[in-house]
A = this chain, B = another copy of it.
Amino acid sequence: MHKIDENLLLPLPLFSKLEKEQVRTILDQASRRRFETGSAVFHEGALAERFFLLLDGTIRVIKLTADGEQITSIHIPAGQLFGIGKALGRTTYPATAVAASEVLTLSWPTDVWDKFATKYTGFATETYKMVGDRLGELNTRVVDMSTQHVEQRIARALLRLIDQSGRQVEEGIEISFPITRKDVSEMTGTTLQTVSRLLSLWEKNGLVISKRKKIIICNPHQLNILGKM
């Protein structure tokens, strides 16, 4: 196993209040692992034996319904912790985490969480801030789902994605991991047909450009207006 350069991690909010020395100690206890696109990092209901830090790529958090449908709860961008049920008093993972692209993770045994939280200033604080953000995001999701039409939900979902994991390209801002119509429909509670129709329409109007598994937002401003109608 390679040693990881602690300088890469120091800029992360999670470690911002720590000494280089401390980050080194934390890293030395971590396991490093790569996941291929589509593979699961952990499964809903499984014993939460480890918690993870996403070094690179994007994690898609999904839930399965009784009848086998799957819906996307959130996407996690690089730099964030996930699978931290321990921090919230859980012993099992509340959802399944899938690699939305090639993914690089660090992970630690759940047991060390308490030690980290008490020993390292800001570690718990930053984590809970992140939890707060996710709570907020879920909250707006609920509001959206109850009040917004499909067109607006999809527009907002795309904006959220480029906000979290957008990459500037020539034609606009691209979603930095492969994403299908089906994925978008699972994020917004619709069907892939509806998503396809809308993307086609938007492409005709110059709002987006979309290829297979790829979406580029050309005109975020216009999309934002659509999302608020």
Question: Could you list which residues of chain A lie within 8 angstroms of chain B, going by C-beta atoms?
Answer: 63, 65-66, 69, 71, 73, 85, 87-90, 94-95, 125-126, 128-129, 131-132, 134-136, 138-139, 141-143, 145-147, 186, 188-189, 228
Contacts and interface: CB of A to CB of B under 8 A. Distances in A.
Main secondary structure of the interface of A (DSSP, over half): helix
**Shortest Cβ-Cβ A-B pairs, 3 listed:** A146-B189, A88-B132, A89-B129
Nearest to A190: B146
A43 to B, nearest CB: 16
This chain: copies in complex: 2
A18 to B, nearest CB: 17
Greatest chain B CB density within 10 A among A73, A95, A139 is at A139
Contacts of A186: 146
Given A135-B135, A135-B138, A143 B87 contact: no
Contact of A139 (B95, B143, B145): B95
Contacts of A69: 147
